[in-house]
């Protein structure tokens, strides 16, 4: 298992984070509420899955070695869902 498993969850987390910015620029109040509700649903689905994958990933790092030197950059991938999720 690698941190690459988090990449499919990056899209809904980033979409939920940008929803507040998009909703603020909408004129119609009903569309604002729909946009914010959709972003909450996206966040509510993506973050628990990200936390589950992060738990498994960190357990793997604790029991095994770090990734090889060629793919050590993939160790920074968990920062994406955590940062965007906290912003959302």
Sequence ranges of the domains in the chain: 3-87
* pLDDT tens, position by position, 28-82: 999 999 999 999 999 999 999 999 999 998 898 889 888 888 878 888 888 888 8
Q: How confident is the model at residue 27 (pLDDT cuts 50, 70, 90)?
A: very high
- Cα→Cα distances 34→12, 22, 51, 52, 82, Å: 16, 11, 26, 28, 24
At residue 81, the pLDDT reads 87
At residue 71, the pLDDT reads 79
Note the helical H segments in the chain.
7-25, 29-63, 79-87
At residue 37, the pLDDT reads 95
Q: Which of 53, 46, 49 is closest to 3 using CA atoms?
A: 53
The CA distance from 69 to 44, in Å, is: 34
The CA distance from 68 to 17, in Å, is: 32
């Amino acid at each position: 298992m690698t941190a690459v498993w988090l990449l499919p969850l990056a899209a809904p987390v980033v979409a939920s984070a940008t929803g507040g910015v998009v909703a603020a620029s909408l004129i119609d109040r009903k569309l604002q509420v729909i946009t914010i509700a959709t972003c909450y649903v996206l966040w509510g689905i993506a973050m628990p899955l990200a936390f589950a994958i992060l738990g498994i990933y960190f357990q793997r790092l604790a029991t095994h070695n770090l990734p090889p030197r060629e793919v050590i950059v993939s160790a920074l991938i968990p920062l994406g869902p955590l940062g965007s999720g906290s912003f959302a």
